[in-house]
Amino acid sequence: MKQGDLNRLAVFCLTVCLAIGGVAVAADASSDDLVPMVVNLLLDKDRDMRALGLQQVREAAKGPAATRRFVALLPKLPPDGQAALLDALATRGDTTARPAVLEMLHSRQEAVRAAAVRALGALGNAADVPLLVRTLDAAGSEKAAARTSLVQLMGPDVTAALVGQMKHSPAETKVKLLAVLGARRARDTIPAILKAALDDDADVRTAAMRVLGQLAKPKHIPAMLKGLLKARPGPERDWAEKAVMFVCKRIPQASQRARPLLEAWKGLNAADQVSVLPTLGRVGGPASLKIVAEAIADKDPRHHAAGVAAICYWPDASVAPQLIALARSEPDAPRRLLALRALIRVAALPDGRSNAQRLVLLKKAMSMATGDDDRNYVIKRANAIRSIETLRFVAPYLGQPAFAQQACATVVELAHHRELREPNQAEFHRALDVVIRTSKDPGVVDRAKRYQRGQT
């Protein structure tokens, strides 16, 4: 090592070669010299050498003293170097770096500010929540970084700070904060989220119900129903109903899933009970079916309509007889179609019935279908019933132009399952031949050819 090289090392002006030499000299001296070696590398002109230095910041030279040395470099680096070092300091996880990170939030470079915001997620605390919440409304990459940091930020008071921010924020920010609470799985904030489910703003209500669908427990269903009832018909109501359904479906015993909803339903007034009927349908179960059947039979058109909607949401095929009856004899044509489509949906569901039973019901639905769209829907749903009889059911449609494309897709989907295809090679071979000749979808043709060659 030449003296001149050492001097250049001292002023952090190294070529790649000098970096190597400088590092070697430092290593000779003492293991404590790792930090100056890293500092040199961070200032190197070569990108790969700098990457080595950043790797050390992330993983080596532990302790606050080293962190302070690295932090001190921030003002000396160009913007991309600052951003990279901030990211590395975040991974390093030493909160000693937090004050410097806060400083960098004032950078004139967006990339640097975004990196500082990202770093706060790992290095910040509850005191940084207001700043991060404000940044949710920033432009560009800072916004996404703020959202990520608010999800990652740890500490005992963070969720309380988030809830506190929600109280005085505009609706748009509330929506973002609710998503953050959901991503944090912040169950301790469920009371606040339930309150938001009654907000005057529809977007806030929807966001709150979606989060409740992820986090709430059966005991929260009565309160969730208040939110559901406040939801406007359409997508908002749809989401609210699904949220309640998700909570019920998390109950491990299938027989108990409807119980909390039914108990809450009983406590509602008559009008609200009608409004909640479709939700009962989404959850299903024998006790709910009794209520729904009564509603369908009711002469009050509102009750009847809600009952039909409920049964059309049913999660299994236990209501097939009722759906068949409705599809045949419901006076209102749109509701008749709704019932037929529900029948097609539940017919193929894997709900414990044999393949043969499922196919019989699907064929029944086909016999009741009056339009090509519905028939195509039947052919599409057939792909869920993995049996050779299904192939035999679908194969004739390959030759009918109105159904050929959907039939091709279903045949290929059935052929995908090797355990079905291999024992019935000859039949699949014939059907796939037709698919290759008929399908207009290159992806379907490609798959058909692969399956014919015995590939997956």
Partner 1 sequence: MSRVIQTTRRDFLKKASLTVAAPYVITTAALGAQGRPPASQRIVMAGIGIGNMGSGDQKSFTGRRDVQYVAVCDVRKQVGEAAKGRVDRHYKNHDCKVYHDFRDVLARPDIDAVHVATPDHWHALIVIAACRAGKDVYCQKPETRTLREGPLMIAAARRYSRVVSGGSQRVLEDYRKTVDQCWGGELGTIKSINVNVGPLSQPCNLPAEPVPPGMDWDMWLGPAPWAPYNHSRCDGNYSTGGNSWRSYRDYSGGGMTDWGAHHFGGATFAVDVRELQPVEVVYNNQQGKEFLTYRYPTGLLLYHNHPGMQNLQVVGTPGEKRPPKAVPTYKGHGGIYGDFLYCVKTREKPFRDIERAVNTIVLAHMGIIAYDLKRSLRWDRAKQEFTGDEVANRMLDRARRQPWQL
Partner 2 sequence: MMWYQTGTCLAMATAPAALSGAALAADPPPDAAAVNKAFEALKSFDWGTDQKLLKPIDDAVMAAHSNAALQRELEPRLAAVLKTGASRDAKDFVCRKLMLIGTAASVPVLAELLADNDHSHMARYALERIPAPEAASALRDALPKLSGSLKIGVIGSLGVRRDAASVSALASLLSDADAKIASAAMCALGDTGNSEAARALSACTKKASKEVHPALADALLVTAERLLADGKKAEAIAIYKSLGGEDQPKLIRLAATHGLLVAAGKKE
Q: What is the binding site for partner 1 (CB under 8 A)?
A: 48, 51-52, 54-55, 58, 84, 87, 91, 121, 151-154, 156, 184-185, 187, 418, 454-456
- Our CB check for partner 1 shows the closer of 367 and 455 to be 455
At 1 the three-state DSSP class reads coil
- Our CB check for partner 2 shows the closer of 37 and 105 to be 37
CA 157 vs CA 124, 148, 162, 392: distances in Å: 12, 18, 9, 63
Task: Give, in degrees to the nearest 5, the angle at Cα 409 between 407 and 411.
Answer: 65
CB of 52 to partner 1, least distance (A): 6
From candidates 13, 16, 254, 297, binder to partner 2 by CB under 8 A: 16
Type of residue found at 252: P
Binding-site size for partner 2 (CB under 8 A) equals: 22
Distance CA 211, CA 97 (A): 33
Site string for partner 2, 43-82 (x = CB under 8 A): -----xx--x---x---xx---------------------
- Our CB check for partner 2 shows the closer of 48 and 200 to be 48
Q: Tell me, rounded to whole angstroms, the distance of Cα 196 from its chain centroid.
A: 21
Among partner 2, partner 1, none, residue 329 binds (CB under 5-8 Å by kind): none
The b-or-e profile of 173-194 (16+ CB within 10 A means b, else e) is bbbbbbbbbbebebeebbebbb
Q: Supply 421's token pair.
A: 């295809």
Stretch that binds partner 2, among 24-32, 137-145, 248-256, 395-403 (CB under 8 A): 24-32
CB of 191 to partner 1, least distance (A): 17
CB of 11 to partner 2, least distance (A): 19
Q: Which residues contact 335 (CB under 8 A, 6 or more apart)?
A: 305, 308, 326
Distance CA 239, CA 233 (A): 10
Among partner 2, partner 1, none, residue 34 binds (CB under 5-8 Å by kind): partner 2
- Our CB check for partner 2 shows the closer of 17 and 270 to be 17
From candidates 14, 41, 296, 408, binder to partner 2 by CB under 8 A: 41
| Cα dihedral 231, 234, 239, 240 in deg (nearest 10) | 30
- Our CB check for partner 1 shows the closer of 193 and 204 to be 193
Distance CA 368, CA 289 (A): 23
From candidates 28, 139, 440, 455, binder to partner 2 by CB under 8 A: 28
Among partner 1, partner 2, none, residue 58 binds (CB under 5-8 Å by kind): partner 1
**Side-chain-side CA neighbours of residue 377 (13 Å):** 20
- Our CB check for partner 1 shows the closer of 3 and 455 to be 455
From candidates 6, 10, 27, 65, binder to partner 2 by CB under 8 A: 27
- Our CB check for partner 1 shows the closer of 63 and 454 to be 454
CB atoms < 10 A from the CB of 155, how many? Answer: 14
CB of 126 to partner 2, least distance (A): 34
CB of 406 to partner 2, least distance (A): 45
CB of 65 to partner 2, least distance (A): 14
At 140 the three-state DSSP class reads coil
Q: Which residues contact 251 (CB under 8 A, 6 or more apart)?
A: 218, 257, 259, 260
Q: Is 37 in the site for partner 2 (CB under 8 A)?
A: yes
Q: Supply 256's token pair.
A: 């108990």
- Our CB check for partner 2 shows the closer of 5 and 298 to be 5
Among partner 1, partner 2, none, residue 87 binds (CB under 5-8 Å by kind): partner 1
Distance CA 13, CA 20 (A): 13
CB of 356 to partner 2, least distance (A): 37
Per the CB < 8 A criterion, the answer to whether 181 and 162 are in contact is yes
Q: Is 23 in the site for partner 2 (CB under 8 A)?
A: yes
- Our CB check for partner 1 shows the closer of 58 and 363 to be 58
Local structure of residue 25 (DSSP, 8 states): H
Per the CB < 8 A criterion, the answer to whether 204 and 210 are in contact is no
Among partner 2, partner 1, none, residue 418 binds (CB under 5-8 Å by kind): partner 1
Q: Which residues contact 161 (CB under 8 A, 6 or more apart)?
A: 126, 127, 129, 130
Distance CA 192, CA 240 (A): 17
Residues forming the site for partner 2 (CB under 8 A)? 16-17, 19-21, 23-24, 26-28, 31, 33-34, 37-38, 41, 48-49, 52, 56, 60-61
